[in-house]
Amino acid sequence: MKTGKEGFQERVGWLLGAGRKSGGDGVTAAVQCDRDRMAIPGRCLPCCAALLAFIALFGAVLPAHVKKAMEESPETYSHYYDHKELSERLHSLAQAYPELCRLSSLGMSVEGRELWVMRVTADPDAVPPERPQFKYVGNMHGDETVSRQVLVYLLRYLLENYGREPRVTALLNATDIYIVPSLNPDGFQRAQEGDCQGEKGGRENARQLDLNRNFPDQFTNQQPPDPQQVPEVVAMMRWIQENRFVLSGNLHGGSVVASYPYDDSSSHMETGFYSKSSDDKVFQYLAKAYASNHPIMKTGHPRCKGEEEEFFPDGITNGAHWYDVQGGMQDWNYLNTNCFEVTIELGCVKYPVASELPTYWESNHRSLLEFIQQVHKGIKGFVLDATDRRGIFNATVSVADINHPVTSDKAGDYWRLLVPGTYKVTASARGYLSLHLPVLLSLTSWSSNL
């Protein structure tokens, strides 16, 4: 392997140049009508009559495309899948679409339930290095159940519309998507339908431990989790480390907001402390990508029971500023891997009655798709050896003034999520001289891909 300065600079320079072409979908969100009575600001009197009329109809009249999907699909929009049904549904999707998906398991829960993950991408037996990995994780709190169903609906939507809808086709051709409908199947079995605020159990795993409080934490506990106590956390950590995820959504319930790192601070102030990560701008953008496409979230007014005055500007919040969470999954992703994770609260009610599931799917499906597309925003490319053009594994790509380098994968491929701007990017690897390059990430190039 050549270690000369000239060769390395040339290769990286060429690659970073290609990376500037990367981009994603436009950032402008379409404006939709608010569909939830709780989302209407009280002072919006002039337009309330029309909105109320619309809302009165909404309970009975779903948009035509949702009704069509419900009629055509074997999906049970009218009840929650228990673990057996979920397993059967995932297997049947995997059998029906072998050219697009693969079903596997991350491991087992305390009570021996599989932690299913469906991989969805065109040509799922290949691992093309130019395809970034994305993941959604649902139902980590067993009593927050909307994500568990909605992620199955998303799977079906992606699989059924490949080759039919240009947006879905482009997404699966360019993205390696992983969906975990339930990280806490044991908790779900204990949870009770209709539980609004998580008072009836099921949040924790079968050892009564909260999975979103048991990841190693930057300020308090760095110890690896106990596989006997939280095998779900251990399985998730191992799976994340075996892969090369770039972006992730961790789906919860109990409010309507997108929350981003950090989730805690060294002082562990209970609330009101903005614990800023090095990528605060990127995280704000990512959270907005979800929130701005959700009819309630984008208003910033969830108006959940007992929290009627709560307001989240643009429908997003820094995690610690909302409330301090130690040992959460999103911070662990960001601090230990290349993956940026945002925690998304899908609804005020943790376990809504099943008849409301079509409404939840309708209000979230656009956001769910839009958020996946953000995995393509930023710079990407390859770090190769100048002599033989082989990929350099574990090369570091860092951006000046952002203390969060990412590392390249086996083929030398890397992704670095960024918002438009001018950056100084450095590629470095053991045995090579580092290369520094200015990168202009223009709004045009950033918005043009996919």
Segment lying near Zn ion (by CB under 5 A), choices 16-24, 118-126, 168-176, 248-256: 248-256
When asked if residue 350 is in the footprint of Zn ion (CB under 5 A), the reply is no
Nearer to Zn ion, 55 or 211 (CB): 211
When asked if residue 141 is in the footprint of Zn ion (CB under 5 A), the reply is yes
User: Which among 345, 356, 362, 370 is annotated as catalytic?
Assistant: 345
88 in catalytic set: no
Residue 106 and residue 349 in contact, taking contact as beta carbons nearer than 8 Å: no
Segment lying near Zn ion (by CB under 5 A), choices 244-252, 273-281, 285-293, 369-377: 244-252
Residue 168 and residue 357 in contact, taking contact as beta carbons nearer than 8 Å: no
Site for Zn ion in 357-416 (CB under 5 A): none
Distances in Å between the alpha carbon of 322 and those of 65, 216, 234, 381?
Answer: 36, 21, 27, 36
Query: Which residues lie below 8 Å from residue 241, measured CB to CB, with a gap of 6+?
Result: 336, 337
Query: Quick one: which of 252, 298, 301, 321 contacts Zn ion (CB under 5 A)?
Result: 252
Segment holding 172, helix H or strand E: helix 166-174
Nearer to Zn ion, 144 or 362 (CB): 144
Q: What is the smallest separation between the CB atom of 138 and Zn ion, expressed in angstroms?
A: 10
Segment lying near Zn ion (by CB under 5 A), choices 94-102, 148-156, 250-258, 317-325: 250-258
Q: What is the smallest separation between the CB atom of 144 and Zn ion, expressed in angstroms?
A: 5
Segment lying near Zn ion (by CB under 5 A), choices 20-28, 68-76, 144-152, 258-266: 144-152
Q: What is the C-alpha separation between 216 and 198, in angstroms, rounded? A: 25
Encoded tokens for 160? 């059924």
Residue 230 and residue 107 in contact, taking contact as beta carbons nearer than 8 Å: no
Query: Quick one: which of 34, 36, 75, 144 contacts Zn ion (CB under 5 A)?
Result: 144
Encoded tokens for 321? 């500023």
Nearer to Zn ion, 264 or 409 (CB): 264
For residue 114, count other CB atoms closer than 10 A to its CB.
Answer: 18
Q: What is the C-alpha separation between 350 and 147, in angstroms, rounded? A: 10
When asked if residue 20 is in the footprint of Zn ion (CB under 5 A), the reply is no
184, with CB counted inside 10 A (0-12, 13-18, 19+), is buried
| Residue ranges that bind Zn ion, judged by CB under 5 A | 141, 144, 252
Please identify every residue annotated as catalytic.
Answer: 345
